[in-house]
Structure 1
Amino acid sequence: MKLLRKAFFLVLSLSILGTLHAQPKAPKATDWIQLFNGKNLTGWDVKIAGYAVNDNYKNTFLAEDGMMRVKYDGYDRFDGRYGHIYYKQPYSYYRLRFEYRFLGEQLPGGDSWNVRNSGVMLHSQSAASLGKDQTFPVSLEMQFLGGLGSGERATGNLCSPGTIANINGKLDMAHCITSTSKTYEGDQWVKGEAIVYADSIIYHIVESDTVLTYTKARIGGDFVGKNNTFEMAHFTKEDAAHWRKLDNTPLKEGYIAFQSESHAIDFRNIELLPLKGCMDPKASNFKAFYEISDKVACEYEKGRRK
């Protein structure tokens, strides 16, 4: 009996260990939400500085050949017409995947720092909440930079109009923080991904490499009312007062917006995997989305909230 009992507990223990170390179930392709349908801009709002919401000046943003394109065919000069295209729904916990490529030369009238420069805004304010002349939304920007043919130029960086975050556990007030990515030259397609867990932890991934990680995302920094930075220079007094009141508030959710910054760029395969089940094991999507990378962030979030 003792031998049988020992054998039973050995088999049970091995079974439990096997379960604990089993590969988590990966999400199915059908779990991903296609944010861009490849045919038109349905579900997206356009806001360009100086123009009303959904006044898509000179067809800056368009759907063509299965891509969301930022083009300047109708422009003579850029002249500060910074624009963004916003998905209709805000998110808090999610994985965002996409591909981008820069094209050709920069439009005349664009700033020198915007050559092969664009990005996607995470946790952004909505298109409707921007002031008419506001150039950039309060958000966390995953910045895209293309190589210029000489020297290194990382992509997947963090820029922070009206926001701040911690790098390696410490507040970093730099407006743009450089990632560890390689340089991508020419007009090649580049795969990007952002894994976002509310205000807790956010990963920037380029071509399957995690190139930047930051925590404790919140509203703050040198937005208007403090040092009147370029990005926030066109706030109304009312908007400035609103954001000052929210200084240091955790940034837990927001909209996703792709940029127009004077250099033509294409986007494709824009898709999102909701991760709301991360914090709730009873949620219907918990098991399907419980991947290795998600497990690390979920454990971080659970520990932070104890």
Structure 2
Amino acid sequence: MHSTERAYSTYQFAIGCLVIGLSAVLLPSPSVQATELFNGKDLTGWHADIPAKEDNPDVRASFIVRDGMLVSLGTPQGHLITDAVHQDFRLVVQYRFAGEPGNCGVLVHASTPRSLYKMFPKSIEVQMNHQHAGDFWCIVQDITVPNMVQRRGPKKNWGIVEGKGRRIMNLTEGSEKPVGEWNEMVIECVGDEVKVWVNGDFVNHGTHCTASKGQIAVQAEGAEVEFRKLDLTPIKQLSADDKF
């Protein structure tokens, strides 16, 4: 075998080992089934945080169940938050804008309520805003992506509180379906990483997240959005001993 052939063979072997190693790092536990965070009937397992209700307890509900779907009516603005804390999971969200497209989001690693603008819980938001699905918004938590300046703006403006550069743009354009059709967003949170797919497109990947667990929340942020699936599957992280 020539030296170039040996080098190429070694390269192929190294790449193969890398791929196998990467594929073995994260595996869903074979005994764990997906949990339906929304049961299709009521809001069991969730609680709403709607600041407007403090001034007017009779204000309409921001989140309802309609025709087997969880519906964010958009206003009054606030959040529907899981009672439980989650860590190392894959979340599958199927949603559509019911009428006019607008703004909404799924929050992961949520904790302290009303940490930003006396409205948003401390979290990382995975954006659903029409034509921007998959952006990250840092809400008193932070996360890192490649090409940070290109995707977040000048470093001097970065921050996680009011008035700072908190948006991190996604990697793709055109991943969303036309308004009225169902979209599927998959959010995978493992350790300090968050990965996002929209309709099968890999749209974002952040690392060094400043939180690794928390509640999950959906927003009421101006537009009516229907959800027909919010399914969560725990992910098992394999240790080095498990792999060999």
The TM-score by the shorter chain falls in which range?
0.7 to 0.9
* Other-structure match for 1:92: 87
> What pairs with 1:188-267 in structure 2 (closer than 5 Å)?
188-199=181-192, 201-218=193-210, 251-267=211-227
Q: Residues 27, 64 of structure 1: CA spacing in aligned structure 2 closer, same or farther, 3 A cutoff?
A: farther
**CA deviation vs aligned residue, 1:220-271 (integer Å, no higher than 9, x gap):** xxxxxxxxxxxxxxxxxxxxxxxxxxxxxxx121110000001100111110
Query: Cα distance 1:29–1:189, how it changes in 2: closer, same or farther (>3 A)?
Result: farther
* Structure 2 segments unaligned to the other structure (5+ residues): 1-16, 153-157, 159-164
**What's the TM-score, normalizing by structure 2?**
0.73
1:159 shift after superposition:
1.0
Q: Does 1:168 align with 2:146?
A: yes
Higher alpha-carbon Rg: 1
The 1:162–1:26 alpha-carbon spacing in structure 2 relative to 1, beyond 3 Å, is: closer
The runs of 5 or more residues in structure 1 that have no matched partner are 1-16, 73-77, 106-114, 147-152, 219-250, 287-294, 296-306
CA RMSD after TM alignment: 3.1
- Aligned partner of 2:68 in structure 1 is 66
Against the structure 1 CA distance between its residues 191 and 58, is the aligned structure 2 distance closer, same or farther, given a 3 Å change threshold? same
**Aligned equivalent of 1:142:** 126
**What is the CA-CA distance between 1:130 and the residue it aligns to?**
3.9
Q: Do the aligned partners of residues 203 and 134 (structure 1) sit closer, same or farther apart at CA in structure 2, a change above 3 Å counting?
A: same
Counterpart-to-counterpart distance in 2, 1:156 and 1:93 = 19
Distance 1:211 1:56, change over 3 A: farther
In 1, are the aligned partners of 2:37 and 2:230 still within 8 Å (CA)? yes
Return the alpha-carbon distance in structure 1 between the equivalents of residues 69 and 239 of structure 2: 35
Q: Is the 2:29–2:234 Cα contact (8 Å) retained in structure 1? A: no
SS in 1 for 2:233: strand
Q: Check the 8 A contact 1:50/1:134 in 2, yes or no.
A: no
Which residue number corresponds to residue 11 of structure 2? none
Q: Could you say if the C-alpha distance between residues 57 and 27 of structure 1 is closer, same or farther in structure 2, counting changes exceeding 3 Å?
A: farther
Partner SS for 1:51: helix
C-alpha distance in 2 between matches for 1:102 and 1:140: 22
The alignment's TM-score, normalised by the length of structure 1, stands at 0.59
Q: Distance in 2 between matches of 1:45 and 1:203?
A: 26
Counterpart of 1:159 in structure 2 is: 137
Q: Does 1:117 align with 2:103?
A: yes
Is residue 237 of structure 2 the alignment partner of residue 278 of structure 1?
Answer: yes
2:169 corresponds to: 178
1:159-192 C-alpha deviation (Å, 9 max, x unpaired) = 1121221111858533212211414332111000
How far does residue 27 in structure 1 lie from its aligned partner after superposition? 6.4
Amino acid of the structure 1 residue aligned with 2:50? I
User: Which residue identity is paired with 1:192?
Assistant: M
Tell me: CA distance 1:57–1:257, structure 2 relative to 1, closer, same or farther (3 Å): farther
Q: Deviations over 1:89-142 (max 9, x none)?
A: 11121000010111223xxxxxxxxx611010000115xx447x8211111001
Higher strand content, 1 or 2? 2
In 2, distance between residues paired with 1:42 and 1:56?
A: 21
Assess, with a 3 A threshold, how the Cα gap between structure 1 residues 64 and 28 changes in structure 2: closer, same or farther.
farther
Instruction: Find the aligned partners of 2:58 and 2:127 in 1 and give their Cα distance.
Output: 22
Q: Could you say which structure has the greater relative contact order, defined with CA pairs below 8 angstroms and 6 or more residues apart?
A: 2
Opposite residue 100 of structure 1, the aligned amino acid is Y
> What does residue range 289-304 of structure 1 map to in structure 2 within 5 Å?
none
CA distance in 1, matches of 2:230, 2:77: 21
**Equivalent in the alignment of 1:290:** none
Measured in 2, the distance between the counterparts of 1:57 and 1:197 equals: 38
